[in-house]
Structure 1
Amino acid sequence: MILNLATLLEDSARRHPDRDAVVLGDTRLSYADVDRAADQVAGLLVDLGVQPGDRVALSCPNLPYFPIVYYGILKAGAVVVPLNVLLKGREIAYHLADSQATAYLCFEGTADLPMGAEGFAGFQQTPGCERFLLITADPAAASPIEGARTLGQALAGRSGPFDTVATNETDTAVILYTSGTTGQPKGAELSHGNLVFNALTCNRLFGNLATDHERHLITLPLFHSFGSTVQMNAGFAVASTLVLLPRFQADQAVALLQREKITFFAGVPTMYWGLLGALHEGVDVAEIARTMRVAVSGGASLPVEIINQFQERFGVQILEGYGLSETSPVATFSDPERDPRPGSIGVPIWGVQVKLIDAAGKTVEGADQIGEIAIRGHNIMKGYHRRPEATAEVMRDGWFRTGDLARRDADGFYYIVDRAKDMIIRGGFNVYPREIEEVLLTHPAVSLAAVVGVPHSCYGEEVKAFVIRSGAVTEGDLIAWCRETMASYKYPRIVEFVDELPMTATGKILKRELAGR
């Protein structure tokens, strides 16, 4: 079947050419503007020798350039390889070489984040990548990097529509690199069919219709699957207006929620925690609550306490979903026909099957039994790019093994217990950090917590909590409170108070860094 992910943009540009597609500060681009600019990028890439199926890498924060270049690459029939904007030159070179990218478009960055310099350094270390274009904030600006041609210079004088290359639903559209918590990062190959189905299914879940006009605030990085599918692709599919925030800062996000009359917010748990902490005097919470219709969380388990606080302040129930880069990403979501259940990641989405399995791969039966999540359906990646062995490790009889532990209640709702690799084994007992974190967040002096296992000579592992305080409490007081609240093998014997927790660019807490402290 002929299918190209860029159709999501093209169809909305045809139906709503004058509607704002992307907003950044005072810059407002219509759907016709974005589609026209993407056509120009596609024509340029083809003229530069990019062939259908070629990989084209992109490093860009949440700026209008991201969707323009992303869909331009797709229109040319090429494969988008979005890169984390925090990567350094050596890491960029790895991704370019591993993906076999033939071209690379990179934003110039800032003095604090010199993306362009790092990107060009990585490009120069990759002989197989033949073309580099620097994206400058001002398209007319000269290149600040010697030897690097700018996208603005390359596009100067170009005009006219571009006939999108016909691709098949099974052709690779995007290669998303995993975070690489173990070994080198791997590129998950997602097809046009994977991503179109996932975007359209999201809109079915959110109750978005072609007649609706959602206004998204996008603080999730667009280079990540959550932001690109749930907000950019799904939003463009129904001609939503995307208000961009290049870097999540809670005060700025709250101001935009109010000023731009945002109806749709999606974030990871730390973002919701940040929003709640930014509701200072002068914020019209009632006005934000009046316009906000949908709040979605994913990327990590959301503490129930934050769900309750957010609903109390904004009158909106945060809907939780679950997925990975390898699953396009959405695999489960709150059931739109039943009341949401705080703490649950919902039920399998349309066309997707989910089951729980044990270490031997046998299906775990019965309510509230813990097993590893396995998924099968239209959202599953084609495989890891050039990694048949790694693909075989996670794919068994068509089922993708996630490495995440969950339980399923009697009504079929799933609840994340923890990452299999994050589980702590203390004296032979299994301890799930998420459960401990949930309890810690109910303490009035705890603002945020992360629990990890640390080596112990007697018990194998000991439970340690890293805590950001919101009030006065000592280590001894908190441990004593935990002892009264949890089973003896669960409660943390070690508490370390910190001012902040290490996080990825997508807002996930980096537990592997904490475990090494």
Structure 2
Amino acid sequence: MLNLAVVLEDSARVYPDRTALVYGDLRVPYSLVNTLANQVANLLVSRGIRKGDKVALLCPNLPYFPFVYFGILKAGATAVPLNVLLQSREITYHLTDSDAKALFCFEGTPELPIGERGRAGFEAAEVTEHFIVLPATPFAKESQYGETLWAAIEGMSGEFSTVTTAADDTAVILYTSGTTGQPKGAELTHQNMLMNAMVSDEMFPRGEDDVYLTVLPLFHSFGQTVMMNAGFRRHATLVLMPRFEPVEALKLMEQEKVTLFVGVPTMYWAMLTAVHTGQASVPSALRTVVSGGASLPVEVLKDFKETFGLQILEGYGLSETSPVASFNQLGRPAKPGSIGTPIWGVEMKLVDADWNEVDDVGEIAIRGHNVMKGYYKRPEATAEVMKDGWFRTGDIARRDEDGYYYIIDRAKDMIIRGGFNVYPREVEEVLMTHPAVSLAAVVGVPHESHGEEIKAFIIRKPGAEVTEEELIAWAKENMAAYKYPRIIEFRDSLPMTATGKILKRELR
């Protein structure tokens, strides 16, 4: 028996009164998080959800997320967390592809109408039978989008005996954009997720009063493992922040005496700017800062050390590796610009296109307790990246004489915008469904705060009329907010190879 829900259950048993979650004025103790997760598990079982069934969760960083996530796991089902920026048609795709039997969906806000998109996505997904609304108004029993969580769990027992799951049963399916168009679901087992949370937890210094600012999205592997699962294992207090704002984040860190912050490079850049312009001050309790999701500019690292007096510890991983694979670990010198060394129980090597090991520069391959089972229902895609237990990442790196790895280039042409991975091909596929677009080539161009911005080069269909503004507005309607191109350039032709491949390097 191994179930990832143990990270909550153990802390609830030993520290029932300790605050698990802080959201605004709300303080939720571990015992209550566990009770609500038990009610969610009872609800799922009462609706016919059985061990191995998939249940989707579309929710920002709110207390609902852990209630539902751990309720799904306790029921023996597989959690399928979805990006809150997805549009209706993308939600339908993810529900259908994952065979999700139910969707728990946040009602949303006027700025982010998640409920509206979720309901429309659910209506179009034939496989998904149940839709439960997580209302924006606390404890609301009614919602225009359907049955609410509070109405559904009314009368449900707060006791539940967690369903027996094996170490290699799938705990979570995390969707990752593939270089080949449609997103694929990485199947991560209870052992993958639990070991990664445990090893992550062990790598950070421990205090009696650990408080985590949780602003990394919990639907993403980084926030889920390093913040929620590792934090719950440590019985830390998680201060939830649905959307990163540098000044607000720094004020919240001071107010709640936050000791650990994990973020992506653009967050560090924004916090430094806020301190340098006098809008916020350096929080007093902060002890540990961790960065991942993209390479951290060395200038930011230096500036942060001078300004905050703290060394940012950099790590590396992917959804397929639960996610942490390497880290600049405490007790060993951190090397600026490096993603560190493999974490405990994990091996890394550099390989060429034919899986032969190379010494100088190559693609990172990973083997260990953190590597996924494979892509859900995609044996061919799995076979492309996995061999003898090794997973090839698509990231090109070099290794120094001390065994530290340095990323040289991201997989193929991937764009990292504000910490989110955007695969150009997926954006191109959508753009080419526009009636006026003949051909699209999407690249990342440098951007001072987002790292990269998305630019599309478009060839119009003969006689077709569409302006830059019209096409951007259309793209915004049809793609998640982090994916659509902000810059469009019309061309009569695009540079190509003899075989017709677009030469992206000439467009950048």
Normalising by structure 2, we get a TM-score of 0.82
User: 1:245 offset after TM fit, Å?
Assistant: 0.5
**CA separation in 2, counterparts of 1:220 and 1:336?**
22
Q: Secondary structure at the match of 2:363?
A: strand
* Distance change >3 Å, CA 43–CA 334, structure 1 → 2: same
**Does the CA contact (< 8 Å) of 1:268 and 1:508 recur in 2?**
no
Partner of 1:196: 194
Match of 1:416 among 407, 412, 433: 407
User: 1:160 offset after TM fit, Å?
Assistant: 3.1
Partner of 1:298: 292
User: 1:511 offset after TM fit, Å?
Assistant: 11
**CA separation in 1, counterparts of 2:177 and 2:142?**
31
User: 1:257 offset after TM fit, Å?
Assistant: 1.2
Are residues 1:228 and 2:219 paired? no
Q: Secondary structure at the match of 1:278?
A: helix
1:114-263 alignment, distance < 5 Å: 114-145=113-144, 148-208=146-206, 212-263=208-259
**CA separation in 1, counterparts of 2:235 and 2:174?**
24
1:441-460 alignment, distance < 5 Å: none
User: 1:359 offset after TM fit, Å?
Assistant: 1.9
**CA separation in 1, counterparts of 2:387 and 2:104?**
36
Q: Secondary structure at the match of 1:149?
A: coil
**Does the CA contact (< 8 Å) of 1:216 and 1:263 recur in 2?**
yes
Partner of 1:373: 364
User: 1:151 offset after TM fit, Å?
Assistant: 1.0
Q: Secondary structure at the match of 2:126?
A: coil
Normalising by structure 1, we get a TM-score of 0.81
**Does the CA contact (< 8 Å) of 2:53 and 2:77 recur in 1?**
yes
1:333-482 alignment, distance < 5 Å: 333-365=327-359, 369-422=360-413, 466-468=446-448
Q: Deviations over 1:3-49 (max 9, x none)?
A: 00000000001111111101011011000111111111111111111
The one-letter code sitting in structure 2 at the alignment partner of 1:327 is T
**Does the CA contact (< 8 Å) of 2:15 and 2:235 recur in 1?**
yes
**Does the CA contact (< 8 Å) of 1:55 and 1:99 recur in 2?**
yes
**CA separation in 1, counterparts of 2:487 and 2:167?**
37
**CA separation in 1, counterparts of 2:215 and 2:480?**
11
Instruction: Tell me which moved more, 71-80 or 273-282.
Output: 273-282
Partner of 1:313: 307
User: 1:223 offset after TM fit, Å?
Assistant: 0.1
**CA separation in 1, counterparts of 2:342 and 2:487?**
29
* Distance change >3 Å, CA 506–CA 228, structure 1 → 2: farther
User: 1:508 offset after TM fit, Å?
Assistant: 10
Partner of 1:490: none
The one-letter code sitting in structure 2 at the alignment partner of 1:324 is L
Instruction: Tell me which moved more, 101-110 or 336-345.
Output: 336-345
Q: Deviations over 1:89-142 (max 9, x none)?
A: 111111111000111110000112111111111111112111111110235435
**CA separation in 2, counterparts of 1:213 and 1:382?**
36
Q: Secondary structure at the match of 2:224?
A: helix
**Does the CA contact (< 8 Å) of 2:325 and 2:343 recur in 1?**
yes
Partner of 1:273: 269
Partner of 2:431: none
The one-letter code sitting in structure 2 at the alignment partner of 1:197 is M
**Does the CA contact (< 8 Å) of 2:62 and 2:240 recur in 1?**
yes
Q: Where does the alignment leave 5 or more consecutive residues of structure 2 unmatched?
A: 417-423, 425-440, 450-475, 490-503
Partner of 1:487: none
**CA separation in 1, counterparts of 2:444 and 2:220?**
30
**CA separation in 2, counterparts of 1:112 and 1:464?**
26
Partner of 1:283: 280
* Distance change >3 Å, CA 34–CA 302, structure 1 → 2: same
Provide the alpha-carbon RMSD of the alignment: 2.7
The one-letter code sitting in structure 2 at the alignment partner of 1:200 is M
Q: Deviations over 1:196-249 (max 9, x none)?
A: 0000000111133xx633100011000000000001000000101000100111
Q: Deviations over 1:173-198 (max 9, x none)?
A: 00000034531000000000000000
Percent sequence identity over aligned pairs: 58
**CA separation in 1, counterparts of 2:4 and 2:487?**
35
**Does the CA contact (< 8 Å) of 1:311 and 1:318 recur in 2?**
yes
The one-letter code sitting in structure 2 at the alignment partner of 1:281 is G
* Distance change >3 Å, CA 166–CA 9, structure 1 → 2: same
* Distance change >3 Å, CA 193–CA 95, structure 1 → 2: same
**Does the CA contact (< 8 Å) of 2:317 and 2:324 recur in 1?**
yes
Partner of 2:87: 88
**Does the CA contact (< 8 Å) of 2:54 and 2:101 recur in 1?**
yes
User: 1:85 offset after TM fit, Å?
Assistant: 0.5
Q: Secondary structure at the match of 1:11?
A: helix
**CA separation in 1, counterparts of 2:256 and 2:271?**
16
**CA separation in 2, counterparts of 1:339 and 1:380?**
26
Partner of 2:435: none
**CA separation in 1, counterparts of 2:268 and 2:307?**
12
Q: Where does the alignment leave 5 or more consecutive residues of structure 1 unmatched?
A: 424-432, 435-451, 453-460, 470-501
Equivalent pairs counted in the alignment come to 440
1:37-56 alignment, distance < 5 Å: 37-56=36-55
Are residues 1:13 and 2:12 paired? yes
**Does the CA contact (< 8 Å) of 1:334 and 1:345 recur in 2?**
yes
**Does the CA contact (< 8 Å) of 2:174 and 2:185 recur in 1?**
yes
**Does the CA contact (< 8 Å) of 1:251 and 1:278 recur in 2?**
yes
**CA separation in 2, counterparts of 1:468 and 1:192?**
39
Partner of 1:484: none
User: 1:509 offset after TM fit, Å?
Assistant: 12
Instruction: Tell me which moved more, 113-122 or 190-199.
Output: 113-122
* Distance change >3 Å, CA 302–CA 133, structure 1 → 2: same
User: 1:144 offset after TM fit, Å?
Assistant: 3.3
User: 1:401 offset after TM fit, Å?
Assistant: 0.4
**CA separation in 1, counterparts of 2:5 and 2:323?**
18
**Does the CA contact (< 8 Å) of 1:62 and 1:244 recur in 2?**
yes
**CA separation in 2, counterparts of 1:509 and 1:86?**
11
